Structure 1
Amino acid sequence: MTRTHWAAITAVVLALLFAGAATVASAGSNDAPTSRTPSVDSADAGFARDMSVHHQQAVEMSFTVRDRTQDEEVRRLAYDIANTQANQRGMMLGWLDLWGLPKVSAGSEPMAWMNRDGGHGGHGGGHQVEDGSLMPGMATTASLERLRKASDKQAEILYLQLMIAHHNGGVAMAEGCVQLCGVGTERDLAQGMVDAQRSEVELMLDLLHKRGAEALA
């Protein structure tokens, strides 16, 4: 197996471990939704499902670029993003398990929870994905393939461009949860995502400029 394959397996294992930890922690929390479990079509459930998918792509891109460059600054950033988002993904999957809700909602379009609940972001700013649906900031299959084939400075620039768009889309989604989610612990996590990802976007813009490149339009 390649290093990328091993890294992907590690990320899945970490996510599962944190899912179990999050379930136990939430069950003992004052904010655990034992009396009013979110419905399958609620903003709480929709955000947990959609952001788990969103995070998984960030983990994949981050492990990919770590194999395509030797630049320590970019590799360290990629590791931090992969580790953070794998952990957060595990927490959200753990909440879905705690609520007894599916991790995939058949017949529900991505981001429907934002529109249905009066959200402000909806599908805006997303990249087209293969099935024709939209998820804010998600890279296309073609873009991911380009990243896998790139190396060194080219890989660094493409990763930073894709991850800036990805983070900006994630911020819009997380802001929707801050507005609409009913579970306080989940709103707190979403606000933490907003703050952290905005800070990382600033760092990535600086790294792009050092390489003579700009963010994607």
Structure 2
Amino acid sequence: MADDEAPVADRPGSRPVVIGASVIVVLLVGVVLGMFLTQTALRPESAATPGAGSVEVGFAQDMSVHHLQAVTMASWERGHTSDPQLEQLAFDIESTQREQVGRMKGWLMLWGQPEQATGEYMTWMTSDAGHGHMAMAPPSSAAAAGAPMPGMATNDELAKLRSRSGTELDVYFLQLMLRHHQGGTEMAQYAHDHTTVPAVKALTQSILTSQGAEMTVMRDMLTARGAQPLPFP
């Protein structure tokens, strides 16, 4: 990723048009796998194709945006850190989440849904009308001021990340990415608990497992560097 690539421009309560290489350069294998898994999950004996407003569609749309910011941060860290441990961690996060975005975009294509919907983020976490469930409040209250979803960094925070170097860069990356994972796992847990589509159930479990392990690693790395996690709303 080029150093001058602009971060996703976000503002609370609205959905930006996501542009840039981080959106269009999604691993093809992820899209193919997403389409294959969806076709398998949506055979005649399976649940009907998820529609607009469903947990599955909302999760795929919003988590793709959430993941792509992690890809942006991890790519920057990988290209600027001098610490082999951080370089490997950033590579793992970048490659894993890019592939998962490919899956989700493949689902949305097969479901006939746009990659992004208009309106507020995370409405699928407060309304399960598509599955006949009772409305539930999202597990996290609200995103930090200036961030569209819980755990995501603001544009100011992304600029601050780009301005740092050495240990300061590594520490701030770990702090931002740990908080980012905390928000992402809340979204994944909600989707995992409310979806009826096996492919979505499998992906959300994979996210919970991999990001749970990465959060433990990041906390240990922060401790080793004499730093603390950022507050999580």
With the shorter chain as reference, the TM-score category is 0.7 to 0.9
Distance 1:104 1:10 in 2: 15
**Structure 1 letter corresponding to 2:67:** H
Q: Which residue of 2 aligns with 1:32?
A: 42
**Structure 2 letter corresponding to 1:32:** L
1:60 to 72, 79, 103: 72
Q: Which residue of 1 aligns with 2:116?
A: 104
CA separation of 1:191 and 1:148: change in aligned 2, threshold 3 A: same
Deviating beyond 6 angstroms after TM superposition, the runs of 4 or more aligned structure 1 residues are none
SS of match in other structure, 1:126: coil
Q: How far off is 1:180 after superposition? A: 1.4
User: Is 1:40–1:101's contact at 8 Å kept on the other side of the alignment?
Assistant: yes
Matched, 1:95 2:107: yes
Q: How far off is 1:93 after superposition? A: 0.5
SS of match in other structure, 1:124: coil
Distance 1:4 1:17 in 2: 27
2:81 to 69, 89, 102: 69
C-alpha offsets along residues 178-216 of structure 1, whole Å, 9 cap, x if unaligned? 111221110111111112111110100000111110001
Distance 1:160 1:149 in 2: 15
Distance 2:136 2:193 in 1: 8
C-alpha offsets along residues 76-112 of structure 1, whole Å, 9 cap, x if unaligned? 00000000000000000100001011112123x1011
Distance 2:22 2:64 in 1: 16
Q: Which residue of 1 aligns with 2:132?
A: none
Q: Which residue of 2 aligns with 1:144?
A: 158
Q: How far off is 1:16 after superposition? A: 4.4
Q: How far off is 1:12 after superposition? A: 4.0
**What TM-score do the two structures reach when normalised by structure 2?**
0.82
Distance 2:42 2:183 in 1: 28
SS of match in other structure, 1:116: coil
Q: How far off is 1:155 after superposition? A: 0.5
Unmatched runs of 5 consecutive residues or more in structure 1: none
CA separation of 1:44 and 1:2: change in aligned 2, threshold 3 A: closer
Aligned pairs (5 A) from 1:5-44? 9=21, 12-27=24-39, 29=40, 31-32=41-42, 36-44=48-56
Unmatched runs of 5 consecutive residues or more in structure 2: 6-19, 129-134
**Structure that is richer in helix per residue:** 1
CA separation of 1:10 and 1:58: change in aligned 2, threshold 3 A: closer
Distance 1:142 1:104 in 2: 23
CA separation of 1:214 and 1:33: change in aligned 2, threshold 3 A: farther
Q: How far off is 1:126 after superposition? A: 2.2
Aligned residues: 209
CA separation of 1:47 and 1:10: change in aligned 2, threshold 3 A: closer
**What TM-score do the two structures reach when normalised by structure 1?**
0.88
**Structure 2 letter corresponding to 1:41:** G
1:157 to 147, 152, 171: 171
C-alpha offsets along residues 142-183 of structure 1, whole Å, 9 cap, x if unaligned? 000011111110110000000010000001000110111221
Q: Which residue of 1 aligns with 2:202?
A: 188
Distance 2:24 2:110 in 1: 19
User: Is 1:177–1:190's contact at 8 Å kept on the other side of the alignment?
Assistant: yes
Distance 1:19 1:127 in 2: 31
Distance 1:197 1:51 in 2: 13
